[in-house]
Amino acid sequence: MIIILLGPPGSGKGTSSSVICKKHNLFPLSTGDVLRERIKQPDEFGKHIAKLMSNGELISDEIINQLVKEIVESDKMKSEYDGILFDGYPRTVQQAEFLEKLLADNNQKVNHILLFNIADDAIVKRIVSRRVDRKTGNVYNLISNPPPENTDLELYQRADDKEEVILHRLEVYKKQTEPLIDFYRKNGVVGEVDATLPVEKMIVTANKILAE
Ligand code: ADP
């Protein structure tokens, strides 16, 4: 099964991804996570990506598409998982067209799109309170999902989670990624999730859509 999570930054895609992937034995492919891992190498390429990310700009389609192709066609993917859940990819029409062809070449197709709906002001509020644990990668929210006390977490705020960068990421989302909603509506695979609901309720809606 191939699932795509579509929606603005901070709409709960990452949180929902881990629950859905466990239930359906899917590989969680978050291009943001792959890039964050890559920038730990401080070579020229790593620095180039890190700069774009911290400014809330997209990485080029060529780089992202190549990276996704390598993962989709890896042996591990084919032998260990029953599909892939894409989180943060595709983000442009060019990426979506590339993905259609890549999946077709591998005898697969997109089965479900989950579209996470939430208003801009709610997103900004959510993201400025987001913190990540450096050691585990676990994501917390100081207001809605506070980290446990008295543990040796190393919490940090992502460089692109500062308010001015979030506003730019939202602009980029509207311009480059929102057109994908129509692109996929034509295929009739888009199910909508109210991303203002608590996580458990969001997951219930998502599971209903996936069972259709
Ligand atoms: P969020 O969903 O919170 O915006 P992500 O972790 O998905 O965050 O992405 C963080 C950053 O990584 C993006 O702002 C962009 O710079 C880069 N990135 C991630 N996925 C893509 C993609 N598919 N195409 C281009 N850039 C990407």
What CATH number should be reported for the domain holding residue 30? 3.40.50.300
Residue from 67, 88, 110, 81 nearest 14 by CA:
88
Q: Which atom of ligand 1 is nearest to the CA of 127?
A: 3
- Residue whose CA is closest, atom 9 of ligand 1? 32
- Strand segments (E) across the chain: 2-6, 27-30, 84-87, 112-117, 130-133, 139-141, 155-156, 190-194
- 61-72 and 93-105 helices, crossing angle to 10°: 20
68 within a domain of the structure (yes/no): yes
Q: Are strands 139-141 and 112-117 parallel, antiparallel or unpaired?
A: unpaired
Q: Are 14 and 116 in contact (CB under 8 A)?
A: no
Is residue 22 flagged as an active site residue? no
Instruction: Decide: 7 in ligand 1 pocket, CB within 6 A.
Output: no
In a domain, 186, yes or no: yes
187 pLDDT tier (thresholds 50, 70, 90): confident
State the distance from the centre of ligand 1 to the C-alpha of 203, rounded, in angstroms. 22
Q: Which two tokens stand for residue 207?
A: 């599971």
pLDDT, tens digit (0-9, with 9 covering 90-100), for 67-84 = 999 999 999 888 999 999
> Does residue 169 have an active-site annotation?
yes
Active site residue 38: no
Q: Does the C-beta of 49 come closer than 6 Å to ligand 1?
A: no
Q: What is the pLDDT of residues 49-58, one digit of tens each?
A: 999 999 999 9
Q: What pLDDT was estimated at residue 130? A: 94
What digits encode the pLDDT tens for the residues 89-133? 999 999 999 999 999 999 999 999 999 999 999 999 999 999 999
Contact 210, 160 (CB under 8 A): no
Q: Is residue 128 part of a domain?
A: no
Tell me: pLDDT of 189 over 90.
Answer: no
The reported pTM is 0.93
For β-strands 2-6 and 84-87, DSSP reports them as parallel
158 given a catalytic annotation: yes
* Residue 26, domain member (yes or no): yes
Q: Rg for the chain (alpha carbons), in Å?
A: 17
Residue 137 lies in a domain: no
Residue in 36, 69, 158, 162 annotated catalytic: 158
Q: How many domains does the chain have?
A: 1
Q: Is residue 43 part of a domain?
A: yes
What are the φ/ψ torsions at residue 14 (nearest 5 degrees)? -65, -45
- Residue of the CA atom closest to atom 6 of ligand 1: 32
Q: Which residues constitute the domain of residue 65?
A: 2-118+177-211
Which 3 state secondary structure label does DSSP give 29? strand
Query: DSSP letters along 36-84, please?
Result: HHHTTS-SHHHHHHHHHHHTTPPPPHHHHHHHHHHHHT-HHHHHH-S-E
Q: Whole-number mean pLDDT of the chain?
A: 94
Q: Is the pLDDT of residue 161 over 90?
A: yes
In a domain, 113, yes or no: yes
- Give domain status of residue 139, yes or no: no
**Residues composing the chain:** 212
Mean pLDDT of 175-204: 93
